[in-house]
Each structure stands twice: as C-alpha cells, then as structure tokens.
C-alpha cells in the first residue's frame, strides 16, 4: 500500500494484514454449507431470539452503558463478582481494549504461533513487538513461553482452548505459567470455547483472576450461545484492570439487543446443553472418520477440527478446499506458516458432517472406517 504524504498512522498499523473472514459463498448452482466460522449449527436459543425481536420496539433508546443487568446475570451464573466484569462488542473488543490500556511502543507481547489472529492485530496496532512462540504439535508450550519473557514483556495472550488448532492446556499448566510470570506481566486467558470442553483437568481461569492482580479471562456469546451476529462478550478482571477498561471503552459499546439476548441466552441452559451434547456426539465421530481416510486430525476439545493434508499433488489442502466448495461445502483455509496445508472444519448438523466425510472420501480416493 502506498503511504500517504498526509496524516500518518501509529507505528505498527501498516504492518497489520486486514482480517479476512471465512468465505460464505461459492461459485456454481449448489446449496452452500458454511462450516468455516465455528458457528453453532443449532443457532441461538429461541428465548434469545425473542428477546432480540422485542428489543426492536425501542430502538430510539440508548443502552445501559455499563450493561448492568447482563453483568449481574453473568456473575450469578458463573459465581463471580459483577463489578469485576466488563462487557464488550465480542471478546475481540475486550482484547483490543487490553492492548489500548496496557501496551505501548517498545513493549513486547507474547502469543503462540497458531493462535487467534486478533493478538497480532492488537500488538501491532499499539506499536509493540510481537513475540511468537512455537507450539509443539499444535499445542502451546509453557516452557517455551516463559523462555521468551523479558523485561519488555507486557502481555501474554493465551487462547485456552486454542483456535484454530482446538488444543488446550490443563489448568495445572496455566497455574504454572502464571506462577512463573513476573507480577507486572498481564496474562490474558481467552476462553471463547470453554463451554465445549469436557476434560476434567480444564478450567477457564476464573479462579486465577479471583486471586491475582495480573490475570484477565475473556469470554464470548458468539460460540455455543449462537449470538455471533450481535457481537457480545465479556471479561472477568482484577478490580484495577476492570477500572482501566471501563475508562477507555466506548460509553455505549454494547447494544440493547445484544444485552437482552445475552441475558436470555444465559437463562436457557437447556439449549446450551443441547448444543454441547450435539458437539460431544459429532466431534469424536468426525475425528475418527476423517482420520480413517488417512488424514491427520489434531485432537480438539472445541466445536471444530483441524485437518492436515499431505503434500502429494492432487491431495493438498488447496485442492481439497476447491473440491469441497464445488459441492457447496466451505471450510476454513489457513494462511499461517505451518498450517497452509490444513483446513479447519466446524462441526455442523448431522447431514453436513456425514456429507463432508463422504466428499473427503471421494477426494482421497479411499473409504472411511
């Protein structure tokens, strides 16, 4: 891009590659099945949809800027303090606010190589230096993270579970990471997919936030709650950090429809349980079936799987992507180094899951077990 001779952006911004969302359309006269954005196949709770529709009757009214009712419901559901919750336009905005509040030019920000793209955006937008830590078999390595901490380190972003790999760290490793970090380094635990995790050694990090001054946990309503279109998320913070985020966030950063839909979604835990049961059924099935085609599938605890394709001409990820799209199925391609020959598949409805396996079987020229 040509740099203007007029006003100049902050250092680092021109190094950011604009985020490219998952494709939503394909060429040809085929029915489209979008399995590229980790959206729940069951949709939002009917109660949340009703609350959203009712909110349309008073669109002239400003929202409660503090999202008081939503924070109180979140606090009651999770057993945490409402005054330490900050709501935002998805967890994305909260991650950006953390960068705006705590990261400056000359600082270093740590995240792992196959982690959520917003961490790099936040780091570069604030003129800081990204420290990208290698993973081990698509899994964060606590020792490798700690080895890269310096006196310039300001924030460590860690998605747990991680997107796009679907892997996670047990809570004992999170505790060890926090214990060995300097007290002035902020540990941000991004737990967007926490509701999907069944493993007994996993925790979202709320316990650490409750007892520490340098840990924040972010959550979202975009995944299992199905409110991605409304952009609503929240962070659980130490009091001082909550105060900082509230000082710099927009005065009305979450809308009335998003707030009331979030409240209704939390109240409908039967719908959440249904979504979790659906995922529990199809996550292992897809992992086994796709693995049976001779493709490597990274073990996932989320609502998606990462499929690795061989380098063999005719069987690459790019060719598989094109073949799937020709049938109307959109998966998520990866541009990140080390994952360019992988596709991420969001778990869909039963017919979609079975169809993807059948299409991949045809592509690979084999048969599922």
Residues 99 and 155 sit within 8 Å (Cβ to Cβ) = yes
How far is 320 from 296, CA to CA, in rounded Å? 14
Over residues 119-164, the pLDDT tens digits come to 999 999 999 999 999 999 999 999 999 999 999 999 999 999 999 9
- Mean of pLDDT values over 288-309: 97
pLDDT band at 18 (very low <50, low <70, confident <90, very high): confident
pLDDT classification of 115: cutoffs 50, 70, 90: very high
- DSSP letter at 195 equals G
Per-residue pLDDT, 25: 73
Q: Tell me the average pLDDT of the chain.
A: 94
Position 329 scores a pLDDT of 97
Name the token pair of 209. Answer: 């936030």
Q: What is the pLDDT of residues 158-183, one digit of tens each?
A: 999 999 999 999 999 999 999 999 99
Length of the chain: 369
What domains does the chain contain, in order, with CATH numbers? 14-43+270-364 (3.90.1150.10), 46-267 (3.40.640.10)
Q: How far apart, in Å, are the Cα atoms of 209 and each of 75, 115, 157, 180, 215? A: 14, 21, 14, 16, 5
In the chain, what percentage of residues exceed pLDDT 90? 89
CB 223 within 8 A of CB 116: no
Torsion of CA 361, 363, 364, 367, to 10 degrees: 20
Distances (CA, A) of 103 to 40, 91, 107, 121, 155: 33, 17, 6, 12, 8
Per-residue pLDDT, 368: 41
Q: Please tell me the predicted confidence (pLDDT) of residue 367.
A: 41
């Amino acid at each position: 891009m040509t740099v203007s001779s007029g006003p100049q952006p902050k250092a680092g911004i021109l190094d950011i590659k604009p985020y490219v969302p998952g494709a939503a359309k394909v060429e040809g006269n085929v029915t489209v099945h979008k399995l590229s954005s980790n959206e729940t196949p069951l949709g939002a709770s009917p109660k949340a949809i009703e609350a959203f529709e009712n909110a349309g009757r008073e669109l002239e009214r400003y929202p409660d800027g503090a999202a008081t009712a939503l924070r109180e419901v979140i606090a009651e559901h999770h057993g945490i303090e409402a005054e330490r919750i900050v709501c935002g336009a998805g967890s994305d905005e909260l991650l950006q606010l953390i960068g705006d509040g705590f990261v400056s030019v000359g600082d270093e920000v740590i995240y792992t190589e196959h982690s959520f793209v917003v961490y790099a955006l936040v780091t570069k937008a604030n003129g800081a230096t990204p420290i990208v830590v290698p993973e081990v078999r698509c899994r964060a390595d606590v020792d490798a993270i700690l080895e890269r901490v310096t006196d310039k380190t300001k924030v460590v972003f860690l998605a747990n579970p991680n997107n796009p790999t679907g892997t996670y760290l047990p809570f004992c490793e999170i505790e060890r990471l926090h214990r060995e970090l300097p007290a002035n380094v902020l540990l941000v635990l991004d737990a967007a997919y926490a509701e999907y995790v069944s493993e007994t050694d996993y925790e979202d990090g709320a316990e650490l936030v409750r007892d520490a001054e340098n840990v924040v946990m972010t959550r979202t309503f975009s995944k299992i709650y199905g409110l991605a279109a409304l952009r609503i998320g929240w962070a659980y913070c130490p009091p001082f950090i909550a105060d900082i985020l509230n000082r710099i966030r927009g005065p009305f950063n979450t809308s009335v429809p998003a707030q009331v839909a979030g409240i209704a979604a939390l109240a409908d835990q039967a719908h959440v349980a249904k979504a979790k049961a659906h995922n529990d059924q199809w996550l292992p099935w897809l992992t086994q079936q796709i693995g049976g085609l001779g493709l490597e599938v990274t073990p996932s605890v989320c609502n998606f799987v990462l499929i690795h394709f061989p380098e063999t001409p005719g069987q690459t990820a790019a060719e598989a992507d094109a073949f799937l799209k020709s049938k109307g199925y959109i998966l998520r391609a990866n541009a990140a180094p080390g994952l360019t020959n992988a596709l991420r598949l969001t778990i869909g409805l039963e017919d979609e899951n079975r169809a993807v396996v059948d299409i991949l079987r045809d592509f690979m020229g084999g048969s599922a077990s």
